Structure formats: structure tokens, C-alpha cells
Amino acid sequence: MRISKCFVCGNRCLGLKGQDTICDTIFLQQGHEDKKVIKAKAFGECHLSCLIKSEWGVFWARRIMENFVQVRNYAVIAHSKTTTLLRSDKLRTTYLIRDDGWIADIHDKALQKSTIVNAGYLLPVKEVFYLPLSDMPPLIDEIKSAFQNRHHYYLRDLLNALALRPYLIYPIAIEKGLLRPLETEASQELAISANAEYAEFIPDELVTTIWSNVDIWYKPRLEDY
Ligand SMILES: [Zn+2]
């Protein structure tokens, strides 16, 4: 079982939406900078908070943008300060790429279910969460007993236990986040599998820019939900 590590700081990376991202080598080209990135192993999973402060954030923002525009044909629909908004109507998703490497993908459905908080919006995230914890058996026991006793475990407690709280870019988004046991839990001795329910924070001005450029409420709903 591989423990995912942030390529910038070397600490564990949980892959939380809105907090972490993947700088995937599929975005790389043949240039001199790309060779430098490979040599420095500056790719893979990372905390967004680490990426934007690192020397690699600007490079990755550029490469991801080039891929989204030239390869995936996403349309550039607006700019908000240093953030570019791209859109795939087919996927009903708006992509935000900031010059420093901060990136978000926002499905229309998440935006429709968002709640307003100070300075921004919280978009609900629900996903199956898998975390190898072979190095921390006591934490596995703690989570499993919480699952048995109260049917949930706070995501913030997990982040505290793993000393990852300082790496959150928007702590408010996981404050009420929960892990819940899966209906049918496969026997995992050294890992946690759970349903994760938390939020993704998007700043005010970006949500406003999306609302004014995308006709989200009037799009026909797709069959699958
Ligand atoms: Zn990091």
C-alpha cells in the first residue's frame, strides 16, 4: 500500500478536493522546464497550500492551462484578477486556474447546492475515501471504534492526528467534515475506507464570476442525476 506524499513538503497527502491536487505528468511537454521538473521530481500529488508557495506552482498552472485549452478544448470564459475560468458545457464543469498554481474544478450541481460563508461559498463534496495507515495502527483502531460507537469520525480529528492541519489552504471547508463507515466494508487491516462528506471552499469573487458567465440554473439536467 502506497502512502501518497506531497512532492513539495514530503508530508502525507490525503487527496481532499479543494485542499490537494495532482500535478500529472500527462500535462508535461518536451521543453527544457519540463525536463527540470522531471529531474527534480516536482510532479504528482501535493497540497495546494504547498504548491502555490513553491517554485513549481506557476509552471504547473501554465501547463495545465495549455492542456485544458489545446488538448481538451475547454473554452476560456472569463478572467478574475489572476484566475482564468474555463468551461466544459458537456461535463457541466467550470475550471479555475490561478497563475500561482491554485486550481479547482466545479461541477454545476455542487454550485447549486453551495452555502454562503464568510468571504466565499462551501460546495458539498461526497466521495469514497481510502487512506493507507499501515504506519499508524492506533489511529486505525480509534477510527474504527468511532465508527462502531457513533457511526462517524471527524475529518478534522484525522488531520490533527496526522499533523496535516497546517497544510490546509481553507480549513473552514473540512471543519464539519465527516468520515462514515462504508455499507459493506472490505476487511482492511492497515487502511481506512470510508464515505467522506466535507466541503470545498471557493472565494466570493470567483463564484460571482461563474454565475455571471454560466447559465447554470437553466441548463437541462442530465439523465444520470
Ligand atoms: Zn505539502
Bridge partners (DSSP) listed for residue 125: 198
Counting residues of the chain whose pLDDT is more than 90, the rounded percentage is: 89
Residue type at position 110: A
69-88 pLDDT tens trace: 999 999 999 999 999 999 99
The string of pLDDT tens digits covering residues 21-44 is 999 999 999 999 999 999 999 999
**What average pLDDT does this structure show over 64-71?**
98
Contact between 216 and 111 (Cβ < 8 Å):
yes
Q: What's the CA-to-centroid distance between 199 and ligand 1, angstroms?
A: 20
What pLDDT score was predicted for residue 184?
75
Q: How far is the CA of 160 from the centre of ligand 1 (A)?
A: 15
What separation, in Å, do the N-terminal and C-terminal C-alpha atoms of the chain show? 34
Cα distance between residue 135 and residue 144, in whole Å: 16
Which amino acid, residue 184?
A: T
- Of how many residues is the chain composed? 225
Cell for 16? 481532499
* Centroid of ligand 1 to alpha carbon of 49 (angstroms): 7
**164-216, pLDDT tens digit by residue?**
999 999 999 999 999 999 987 666 678 999 999 999 999 999 999 999 999 87
**What residues contact residue 6 under an 8 Å CB cut-off, 6+ apart?**
12, 13, 20, 45, 46, 47, 50, 167
Report, as an integer, the average pLDDT of 133-146.
94
Nearest to 88 by CA among 80, 79, 77: 77
**5 CA from centroid of ligand 1 (Å):** 8
E strand or H helix at 28, and its extent? none
Distance 206 CA to ligand 1 centre (A): 24
Task: Using DSSP, state whether 214 is helix, strand or coil.
Answer: coil
Tell me the C-alpha distance between 140 and 170, whole Å.
25
Question: What's the mean pLDDT in 4-18?
Answer: 97
d(CA 198, ligand 1 centre) in Å: 20
**Residue 225 CA to ligand 1 centre (angstroms):** 35
Say how many Å lie between the CA of residue 152 and the centre of ligand 1.
Answer: 27
- What is the distance in A from the centroid of ligand 1 to the CA of 223? 39
